Amino acid sequence: MYDIKPVSAAETNSDIRILLANPRGFCAGVDRAIKIVELAIKKFGAPVYVRHEIVHNRYVVEGLEAIGAVFVDELDEVPADAPVVFSAHGVPKSVPAEAEKRKMVYVDATCPLVSKVHRAVERHQSSGRHILMIGHEGHPEVIGTMGQIAEGSMSLIETVEDAESFMADDPAELAYVTQTTLSVEDTADIVSTLERRFPELTNPKKEDICYATTNRQVAVKEVAKQADRVIVIGAPNSSNSMRLVEVSEKRGCSARLVQRAADIDWAWVKGAKTIGITAGASAPEVLVEEVIEALKERYNANVELVTTAEENVVFKVPPILKDIT
């Protein structure tokens, strides 16, 4: 299942403490998106096409490919008579419009919390406000959100420096939204800068950064306080996973991102007495278990759960799939 790299006899079977962050791993939006693909395959039969990775995790993507999902970059790669699912990150309005023009059957797996941001963008535009999108250029969620309204109606703000240099045509008619998977602390610094420069800036009624992103960052902060190293399980193109690495590092705890147990740098682990483990919102629990087992192959490991919140959020699937069980 994973590679076992040799370690010295002196290190083998030494004692370590594993702190397992809770919450970690799959969130309600990811659970829903994966279920949507599985139900679509069950309803329509294979193949079901998926525009972009349904979530940012190769293990999940490969598992869905094995049961009949076909992942593509753009809609024009999908036959007109084949069903297509849009990823959890959301898509520009032009994508479903094109699907309707081609009379395609499509299922939108956009996370409801991302959809909430889309609706806020539409409201701001209808009120005549220019919108500042706090997020990372090129991320699918940012592309999808900025594609909800006409080009030029939104400006991307990635850093505090961007917030300092942005020039508004009408400072009294500005609003901001954020990517849902950002660092809570970094975003707060950007928002603080914008609010100082533009006192009439319209804020979201409720923070856009999703509950799962926030909860996972709070949990890893608690783990990082006590750990010598933190292993974050996730994909390098997963924004929320990368933020967990950054949050750990900012707490003074060395952190590394791994996709599988085989990616662990055992030289980096060597000498640590306490190892923290967490997982991004797109990483399944089976990969967490794999990493723990890899550590147990080398050490006498005691696992402790560090709980900072309990999650019980569940999102419904789209009506087109409700009759499938």
Catalytic residues: 141
Cα(63)–Cα(59) distance, rounded to whole angstroms? 6
Count of beta carbons in the 10 Å neighbourhood of residue 4: 12
Burial bucket for residue 323 (CB in 10 Å: 0-12, 13-18, 19+)? exposed
| Residue among 97, 51, 55, 104 nearest 82 (CA) | 104
Calculate the CA 101 to chain-centre distance.
Answer: 30
Orientation of helix 184-197 relative to helix 211-226, angle to 10°? 120
φ, ψ dihedrals at 202, nearest 5° = -85, 125
Is 288 within 8 Å of 3 (Cβ atoms)? no
Task: Please give the DSSP secondary-structure letter assigned to residue 6.
Answer: -
